[in-house]
């Protein structure tokens, strides 16, 4: 049983991370989790992946940074031995790298990567985490793409945590949950744990929509056949990838200029000066 954490210290640490991360791009279904839920999620991920090599397949929320930073600040005395973020948004990648460098977090890094491309790393991880586009308009196909890349990251042997919508009043989240579980079974994984309706988001058009943690584990005794990582070009899997009529057309989001995300940008404001007293 883990000891209780200092909640104030944890919230302040997560606040530091939030100040560092870039603002979300809704056209790519980037939606940030609320701060209180980030604190609880970070503790859960750190506990689950304690001592393991953890791959994040996308991470707009910056849960990866929270997990690493909470341990570096001794708010948590457990956590992954290594964390690597794979994201197609260069702003996210550079924000992770700058934060890790500034705080001297040596076990945290990030790589520019689009899930439609073959998975780039020859290094195998023990577990993966992903909070992907939730697949409201494609029956969860986008979720399964991110989950597949996570399974590739761990060599189809290990554990994963997938964060997706969870709402008993809406049809599409239930359909997505079922199809993602089916995809996992077909891929040699089973649902080992399920935590329903945990997280809220800064989502203007659905402020009460929550997400769950779905944990996957590879089925013991099943050694997968050789499954090389390949680019995903199937039009059916790409349809409505980021929402209705939003097929992938962008390989990378490039960082236009280096920004301090914790401060107002100089293109967001102008100064109107007091009149000089010439008397």
Q: What are the pLDDT digits (tens) for 212-251? A: 999 999 999 876 666 778 888 888 888 888 877 778 888 9
pLDDT for the residue numbered 13: 97
Q: Evaluate if residue 278 carries a pLDDT over 60.
A: no
What distances in angstroms separate CA 202 from CA 208, 209, 234, 260, one per listed residue?
A: 9, 10, 32, 21
pLDDT for the residue numbered 246: 78
Is 35 strand, coil or helix? helix
Beta strands in 58-144, from DSSP E residues, in sequence order: 82-87, 108-112, 127-130
Q: Please state, in angstroms and rounded to a whole number, the distance separating the CA atoms of residues 56 and 54.
A: 7
- What is the model's pTM? 0.91
Residue bearing the bigger pLDDT, 258 or 30: 30
Long-range contacts of 234-238 (CB under 8 A, 24+ apart): 236/141, 237/141, 237/144, 237/145, 238/116
pLDDT band at 43 (very low <50, low <70, confident <90, very high): very high
Over residues 68-125, the pLDDT tens digits come to 999 999 999 999 999 999 999 999 999 999 999 999 999 999 999 999 999 987 789 9
Our CA angle for 53, 173, 242, nearest 5°, is: 70
pLDDT for the residue numbered 258: 65
Dihedrals φ, ψ of 268, to 5°?
-100, -10
pLDDT for the residue numbered 162: 98
Average pLDDT over residues 24-43: 93
Q: What is the Rg, in whole angstroms, of the alpha carbon atoms belonging to the chain? A: 20
The CATH number fitting domain 10-238, selected from 3.40.470.10, 3.10.400.10, 3.40.50.150, 3.30.2350.10? 3.40.50.150
Residue bearing the bigger pLDDT, 33 or 257: 33
- Say which residues have a Cβ less than 8 Å from residue 25's Cβ, sequence separation at least 6: 89, 253
Q: Evaluate if residue 263 carries a pLDDT over 60.
A: yes
Count of Cβ atoms closer than 10 Å to residue 86 Cβ: 26
DSSP 8-state class, residue 204: T
pLDDT for the residue numbered 226: 60
Closest by alpha carbon to 28, among 242, 171, 274, 254?
242
**Contact present, 199 and 34 (Cβ < 8 Å):** yes
Mean pLDDT of the chain: 91
pLDDT band at 256 (very low <50, low <70, confident <90, very high): confident
Q: Residue 278, by phi and psi: left (phi above 0), alpha (psi -120 to 50) or beta?
A: alpha
DSSP 8-state class, residue 31: -
Which DSSP string do the residues of 110-124 spell out, in sequence order? EEE--TTSPP---SP
Over residues 182-201, the pLDDT tens digits come to 999 999 999 999 999 999 99
């Amino acid at each position: 049983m883990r000891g209780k954490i200092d909640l104030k210290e944890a919230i302040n640490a997560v606040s530091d991370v939030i100040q560092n991360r870039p603002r979300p791009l809704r056209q790519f279904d980037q939606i940030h989790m609320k701060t209180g839920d980030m604190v609880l999620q970070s503790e859960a991920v750190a506990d689950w992946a304690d001592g393991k090599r953890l791959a994040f397949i996308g991470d707009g929320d910056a849960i990866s940074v929270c997990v690493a930073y909470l341990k570096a600040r001794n708010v948590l005395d457990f956590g992954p031995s290594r964390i690597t973020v794979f994201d197609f948004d260069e702003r996210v990648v550079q924000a992770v790298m700058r934060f890790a460098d500034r705080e001297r977090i040596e076990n945290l890094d990030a790589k520019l990567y689009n899930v439609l491309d073959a998975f780039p790393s020859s290094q195998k991880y023990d577990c993966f985490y992903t909070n992907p586009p939730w697949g409201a308009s494609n029956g969860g196909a986008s979720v399964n793409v991110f989950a597949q890349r996570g399974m590739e990251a761990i060599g189809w042997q290990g554990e994963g945590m997938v964060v997706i919508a969870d709402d008993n009043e809406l049809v599409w989240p239930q359909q997505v949950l079922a199809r993602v579980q089916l995809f996992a079974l077909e891929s040699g994984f089973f649902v080992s744990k399920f935590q329903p309706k945990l997280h809220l988001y800064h989502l203007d058009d659905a402020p009460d929509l929550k997400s769950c943690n779905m944990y996957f584990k590879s089925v013991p005794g099943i050694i997968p056949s050789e499954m090389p990582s390949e680019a995903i070009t199937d039009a059916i899997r790409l349809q409505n990838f980021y929402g209705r009529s939003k097929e992938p057309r962008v390989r990378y989001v490039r960082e236009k200029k280096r920004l301090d995300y914790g401060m107002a940008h100089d293109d967001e404001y102008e100064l109107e000066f007091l009149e000089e007293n010439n008397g």
